[in-house]
Amino acid sequence: MASANLVLSLLFLLLLLFSSLPSSIVAKDDPGHVKVSVLADYVVARTDGNFICATVDWWPPEKCDFGDCSWGHTSIKNLDLRNQILRNAITAFGTMRVRIGGTLQDQVTYTSKPCHEFKAADGDSDYEFKDGCISLNRWDKIHEFFNATGAFITFGINALHGRVQGHDGVYAGAWDPENARFFIRHVVQNKQYVDSWEFGNELCGNGGKPNFLVDGKQYGLDLIAFKAMLIDEYAELGGPPKVAAPGGFYVEDWYKNMLSTSGYGVVDVITHHVYNLGSGGDRNLVDKVTNPKVLGNIVHTYDKVVDTIKSTGPWSSAWVGESGGAHSSGGKGLSNTFANSFWYLDQLGMVSRHHHKVFCRQTLIGGNYGLLDHDSFVPNPDYYSALLWHRLMGTGVLEVSHDGPAHLRSYAHCSKNTPGGVTLLLINLSDSITLEIEINGSTKSYERKIRSRPLAKDDKDQSKREEFHLTPKDGDIQSTVMLLNGKELGLDGKNSIPALDSEVVNASDPLRVAPRSIAFVKLKDFNADACK
């Protein structure tokens, strides 16, 4: 009996001890309470002003993967340029970078005559289709459309023209520039603005033996010829646009060989492709996009690309020139759903933090990974994620950390068009835990504001924050419908893009991020020195 009383007494003392602990200490044991710290005294990286980019590809309707034909009429050759949803979707960005390119760009010729469709290639070819073309008349319509919608065009040139493929799979010989010159001369003579020219698509890192279609040194020599041609053709316009290359999968030796051969100032932008979720036919894609280890497995590549640029081509900058998460047209039931925004927004945050200027999404429309549906043109969830990023996240990237679990992904930028403001991106991958976020900043004036007592609701001087909470319809992360602050996002009767309105709250109010949800949080009164 005495021993039982002793145990009860000890339990009572322990209860008194824990109940008297400061709440800040208890909170550390609460998996839902997280401190997010933003270092806002300086920027750690900068993106391009048109960081968000999307691709329009060349695939014909006959392109199918895993029994699913998801391309329809979304090619640069047959895309309906009169579609009002398409026009509204691009215009909503104000300015948006559009990359015209993809696998079949190296099978395209440019012609003044009416153009035929791609032909099916032989079974042993590196390409599913061959012998494509685009007429100058079609190009003129494309340029007129994108120019009218405020798009910045990156155009991918055929870099295989004139080469002959050997028995080892490598295309030998020098690039023949004449057909490209014919096309570019038309562009220049008609004063059609192209922001940058990309030379070839996935001619390296293709996983074959050898792991390239064109030797890195030969490719570097061809880049010299390409740049010289651009300088010549653009002479009367004050100089050429940027040259981007190689648009392939990163292979360190090949990239270094290309840069050292081409030399100073030839390549302005180093592009590489990323499909870190693997095949679109993988049945585990949903598990992958909610796994922080899988999401972060590409960081090493981002850093290696930047290291290669620093050591071999410091005059150039890094872009992700194409990324759709899952390759081979994307994952049906994943790439066009809410869940894919876990991957997409996390990549945008990661890439910008790791010194990349632009991220080109595969695709604007086409395949299962389009920002727009390939049949209806209706925006998929990732479209709204991209638009919110474009409107909220400025070019200045800030250091951010947190003391919470790995399933919280956090990023911070200077707020767009808001001097001193900071915008956070918070991604909660947990399927059960609501996170209560405490924000700490290096700027003392902001710390004083968020720690001050709550002011009256009618006090106009009270510090506010804007919240944009993204959740899936009915809680199903594989839904193709996204909610913003509880309201379904969709087109109106005129096919206009909906307003993306924030919820304005007092800065001292609790900030909660629900399970399997995403939040942009704009702190206009952060008073960040780095963002002024």
pLDDT per residue as tens digits for the range 496-510: 999 999 999 999 999
Question: Exposure string (b/e) for 223-251, b if CB count within 10 Å is 16 or more?
Answer: bebbbebbeebbeeeeebbbbbbbbbbbb
Instruction: Give the pLDDT mean for 408-436.
Output: 98
30 shares its domain with 140: no
Q: Which of 62, 178, 198, 202 is catalytic?
A: 202
Instruction: Report the SS3 class of residue 81.
Output: coil
Strand boundaries in 324-407, DSSP class E: 326-327, 356-361, 393-402
Domain boundary among 393, 427, 450: 393
Whether pLDDT at 394 is above 70: yes
The pLDDT score that the predictor gives to residue 299 is 98
29 shares its domain with 106: no
Instruction: Identify whether the C-beta of residue 275 lies closer than 8 Å to the C-beta of residue 326.
Output: yes
Identify whether 3 is part of a domain. Answer: no
Above pLDDT 70, what percent of the chain?
90
Instruction: Identify whether the C-beta of residue 241 lies closer than 8 Å to the C-beta of residue 194.
Output: yes
Instruction: Give the pLDDT mean for 291-303.
Output: 98
Higher pLDDT, 444 or 256: 256
351 shares its domain with 219: yes
Whether pLDDT at 367 is above 90: yes
Q: Which of 128, 198, 322, 467 is catalytic?
A: 322
φ/ψ (deg, to 5) at 233: -70, -30
Instruction: Give the pLDDT mean for 245-255.
Output: 98
The pLDDT score that the predictor gives to residue 124 is 72
36 shares its domain with 58: no
383 shares its domain with 405: no
The pLDDT score that the predictor gives to residue 294 is 98
Is residue 467 part of the annotated active site? The answer reads no
Instruction: Give the pLDDT mean for 309-337.
Output: 98
Confidence of residue 441 (pLDDT cuts 50, 70, 90): confident
Query: What average pLDDT does the structure give for the chain?
Result: 92
Identify whether 189 is part of a domain. Answer: yes
Identify whether 373 is part of a domain. Answer: yes
The pLDDT score that the predictor gives to residue 456 is 36
CA dist., res. 132 & res. 9, Å (int) = 85
Whether pLDDT at 126 is above 90: no
Whether the bond between 363 and the residue before it is cis, its omega within 30 degrees of 0, is yes
Task: Check which CATH number belongs to the domain holding 240 and give it.
Answer: 3.20.20.80
Tokens coding 17: 């001890």
438 shares its domain with 316: no
Whether pLDDT at 191 is above 50: yes
The pLDDT score that the predictor gives to residue 31 is 63
CA dist., res. 34 & res. 403, Å (int) = 6
Whether pLDDT at 385 is above 60: yes
Task: Check which CATH number belongs to the domain holding 514 and give it.
Answer: 2.60.40.1180
The pLDDT score that the predictor gives to residue 2 is 47
What angle do helix axes 136-148 and 178-189 make, rounded to 10 degrees? 50
Domain boundary among 372, 393, 414: 393
38 shares its domain with 60: no
Higher pLDDT, 22 or 236: 236
The pLDDT score that the predictor gives to residue 270 is 99
The pLDDT score that the predictor gives to residue 22 is 38
255 shares its domain with 353: yes
Instruction: Give the pLDDT mean for 263-281.
Output: 98
143 shares its domain with 30: no
Identify whether 263 is part of a domain. Answer: yes
Please choose, from the candidates 318, 274, 298, 278, the residue with its C-alpha nearest in 3D space to the C-alpha of residue 48: 318
In the chain, the number of structural domains is 2
Instruction: Give the pLDDT mean for 401-410.
Output: 96
Q: pLDDT (tens digit, 9 = 90+) per residue, 28-65?
A: 446 689 999 999 999 999 999 999 999 999 999 999 99
The pLDDT score that the predictor gives to residue 105 is 98
Q: What residues form DSSP beta bridges with 65?
A: 68
Higher pLDDT, 346 or 451: 346
56 shares its domain with 117: yes
The pLDDT score that the predictor gives to residue 30 is 60
Could you list the residue range(s) of the whole structural domain that residue 525 is in? Answer: 23-44+399-531
The pLDDT score that the predictor gives to residue 32 is 86
Instruction: Give the pLDDT mean for 432-438.
Output: 97
Q: pLDDT (tens digit, 9 = 90+) per residue, 134-189?
A: 999 999 999 999 999 999 999 999 999 999 999 888 999 999 999 999 999 999 99
Helix (H) or strand (E) segment spanning residue 225: helix 216-233
For residue 187, give Cα distances in angstroms to 121, 175, 197, 523.
Answer: 30, 20, 12, 44
The pLDDT score that the predictor gives to residue 5 is 53
Please choose, from the candidates 247, 132, 262, 237, the residue with its C-alpha nearest in 3D space to the C-alpha of residue 185: 237
Instruction: Report the SS3 class of residue 298.
Output: helix
Domain boundary among 366, 393, 420: 393
Is residue 322 part of the annotated active site? The answer reads yes
The pLDDT score that the predictor gives to residue 458 is 43
Confidence of residue 7 (pLDDT cuts 50, 70, 90): very low
Instruction: Give the pLDDT mean for 88-101.
Output: 98
295 shares its domain with 189: yes
Instruction: Give the pLDDT mean for 58-86.
Output: 98
Instruction: Give the pLDDT mean for 219-226.
Output: 99
Q: What residues form DSSP beta bridges with 187?
A: none
Q: What residues form DSSP beta bridges with 111?
A: 135
304 shares its domain with 427: no
The pLDDT score that the predictor gives to residue 125 is 80
Instruction: Give the pLDDT mean for 274-290.
Output: 98
DSSP-based helix, strand, coil % in the chain, nearest 5: 30, 25, 45
